[in-house]
Amino acid sequence: MVLIGIRTEASRTPALWLKPSYSTPCLRLSITGNFDIGIDMDGYELLLNRWYHIAYTLSDSEKRIYFYIDGKWVGSFSLKNAQKESIIFNDGPLYIGDHLRWNGITGKISNSISVSCQKQEKRAYRELITEPVKFNYIDGRVINHLVLPVVKDELSITLKIKLSTLRFDFCNVFYKGRWDDKTPALLLKSSNSTLCLRLSITGNSDAGIDMDGYGLLLNQWYHIVYTLSDSEKRISFYIDGKWVGSFSLKNIQNQSIRFNDGPLYIGYSPGWYGFIGDISTHKNSIDILKKEINELLELLQTIELDWYLTLHEKTIKSYDFSQVLLFNYNDFNFKQITRVNKETFWHIENLIHNNSVFLNQFKCLQKPVWLQLVVTLERLGCNGNGASVG
């Protein structure tokens, strides 16, 4: 049954359905390559004769749906391929209840609006590798849990990696925890050099997503970022500054990310061979950035020392019109410009030319009084756009 939805032949974004057998809300939308995708809110069936406040939100920039019941965030769905998939919106009508192809709900809809937000807290930062390191499949770094920043809700791991060769079916890039806990973990599928994001959640010690279609090339540097948030119930993954994938917990109220107090293994770890390649350091990236900044500062200083990047010459101005042509006009044409005849003009000039306004000792001398008078009279005789008013 349709609760609410917008539909055309190419898109059904957004749509909210109801399974009558279990009264389960089903969130639907259309994305690139998939007309009908979404999530069924199993475990959150609606009871009869009871009011519920529900909120369905979606964001193409975040590639995600959020679903709330009575102010509680109970479910979400994320697009997996953030670079290649987009939400397909449409210009079709919004059907509430009965639909051309579906029966509507039997019940009532009231009106209510709510807004919520989450407070962002300052994050701790720790650089774990301070010098470039080469890794072999039996080489690894072990970082004790006590050395790491305290994690209560969110964490982010950033590294610059270059693969030299692919050898085993799966190998470890980094992995925190013991065998039954792997939050966070990043594995490499050697058959196609696909990165596999893993974490442990309530009821599942091996959840996550494989980044199919984003295999890493050998002997090429990549900057990768793995972030997760228990408050958002989500992993986000970036390659070279581009958001390329995400994974969301489906049962928001009953599932949480399981953090652990195990060590962080980079490269080789118990149970996994390590990747073969290099990890660069944050310091190297900072040094390169500092060099670029210094070069830009030098360029800025050069510009400030000489405002003109090419030889600056004064614009040549012509005084022939005012000195020669203007006073050769007959009285009619002269009056069209100055609004007075020549005799009156020179009388005015004689009255004002000794005024202190026109006398100064500045380095930049004034123009002759008669020329200033011509300009003033000409402007006073215009209506603002250069056209004469008389």
Q: What are phi and psi of 304, to 5 degrees?
A: -70, -30
Q: Residue 150: which residues within 8 A CB-CB, separation 6 or more?
A: 124
The owner of tokens 């959020």 is 66
d(CA 195, CA 178): 20
CB atoms within 10 A of CB 250: 19
- Give the pLDDT score at 197: 92
- Give the pLDDT score at 117: 36
pTM of the model: 0.52
- Give the pLDDT score at 8: 55
- Residuewise pLDDT in 10s, the chain (390 residues): 555 555 555 678 888 888 877 788 888 888 888 888 888 888 888 888 888 878 888 888 888 888 888 778 888 888 888 788 888 887 777 777 766 677 777 777 765 433 333 444 455 667 777 777 888 888 788 888 888 888 778 888 888 888 888 877 888 889 898 777 888 999 988 888 889 999 999 999 889 989 888 888 999 988 888 988 888 888 899 988 888 888 988 888 888 999 888 888 888 888 888 888 888 765 555 555 666 677 788 877 776 666 555 665 554 455 556 666 677 778 888 888 888 888 898 898 888 888 888 877 777 778 888 888 888 888 887 655 554 544
- Give the pLDDT score at 120: 41
Tokens of 67: 């679903």
- Give the pLDDT score at 320: 58
d(CA 160, CA 193): 16
d(CA 211, CA 242): 13
- Give the pLDDT score at 3: 54
Where do the domains of the chain lie, and which CATH numbers do they carry? Answer: 2-96 (no CATH), 133-284 (2.60.120.200), 320-380 (no CATH)
Q: What is the 3-state secondary structure (H, E, C) of 193-248?
A: CEEEEEEEECCEEEEEEECCCCCCCECCEEEEEEEEECCCCEEEEEECCEEEEEEE
- Give the pLDDT score at 151: 79
The owner of tokens 């004034």 is 366
Distance from first CA to last CA of the chain, Å, rounded?
78
**Which of 189, 172, 377 is CA-nearest to residue 275?**
172
